[in-house]
C-alpha cells in the first residue's frame, strides 16, 4: 500500500511539517524527490485516509482543559453505531470508539473521551451524554487518569516486502 518514497515522506513529517516557507519542498529535498512528487503523494494519502488531516494538534492540558475523562458506556449493540456517531459529534468529545466488552468485569462497549476544564465540568458533560442516550444508557462510568506512566510516539510499520524479481 505504501512504498519506500511514501515511507520516507512519512518519516520526514512524523514529527511535524517543517516551519519554512516551502515545507513540502523541504521534505522533498530530504527525501530526494521533486517537490511535486511530495505534494502529489500527500494529496493521495489524504484521499485514501492514510493521512487523517494536516494541521495543528492542540495540547488540551496546556490550553486549560485539565479534566480529561474516559467515559465508558453500556449501550445495546444494535444501537452502538448510531450512538457512537451522535456522541462523537459532541464538541467536547475528542474520540469515540466501539470496543469489545469483557463480561462480567467490563460491560461497556462505547468509549468517549470527554474534555473539560476540570472534573466537575467533565461530569456535567457526561450527564449530557447520559441524557442523549436516555434509557439505552444501561450503565456508565468515567475513568480519570491519575498518572502518565509512559508516553512515546507511535512506531512506523515496516516496509511491505518487496517483490523480488529474478
Minimum CB separation from another protein for residue 127, in Å? 19
The 3-class secondary structure across 15-46, one letter per residue, is: CCCCCCCCHHHHHHHHHCCCHHHHHHHHHHHH
81 or 124: whose CB is closer to another protein?
Answer: 81
Q: Which stretch binds another protein (CB under 8 A): 12-20, 123-131, 132-140?
A: 12-20
Q: Identify the residue among 55, 104, 134, 161 touching another protein (CB under 8 A).
A: 55
Q: Which stretch binds another protein (CB under 8 A): 34-42, 121-129, 131-139?
A: 34-42
Cα dihedral sign, 114-116-120-121: negative
The three cell numbers locating residue 95 = 474520540
Determine if 58 is a binding residue for another protein (CB under 8 A).
yes
Determine if 146 is a binding residue for another protein (CB under 8 A).
yes
Beta carbons within 10 angstroms of residue 25's beta carbon: 16
Amino acid at each position: 500500500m505504501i512504498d519506500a518514497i511514501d515511507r520516507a515522506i512519512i518519516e520526514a513529517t512524523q514529527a511535524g511539517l517543517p516551519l519554512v516557507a516551502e515545507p513540502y519542498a523541504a521534505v522533498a529535498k530530504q527525501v530526494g524527490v521533486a517537490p511535486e512528487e511530495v505534494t502529489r503523494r500527500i494529496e493521495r494519502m489524504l484521499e485514501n485516509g492514510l493521512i487523517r488531516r494536516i494541521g495543528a494538534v492542540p495540547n488540551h492540558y496546556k490550553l486549560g482543559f485539565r479534566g480529561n475523562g474516559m467515559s465508558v458506556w453500556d449501550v445495546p449493540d444494535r444501537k452502538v453505531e448510531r450512538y457512537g456517531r451522535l456522541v462523537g459529534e459532541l464538541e467536547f468529545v475528542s474520540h469515540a470508539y466501539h470496543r469489545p466488552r469483557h463480561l462480567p468485569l467490563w460491560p461497556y462497549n462505547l468509549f468517549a473521551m470527554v474534555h473539560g476544564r476540570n472534573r466537575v465540568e467533565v461530569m456535567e458533560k457526561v450527564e449530557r451524554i447520559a441524557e442523549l442516550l436516555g434509557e439505552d444508557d444501561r450503565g456508565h462510568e468515567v475513568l480519570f487518569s491519575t498518572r502518565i506512566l509512559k508516553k512515546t510516539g507511535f512506531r512506523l510499520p515496516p516496509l511491505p516486502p518487496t517483490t523480488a524479481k529474478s
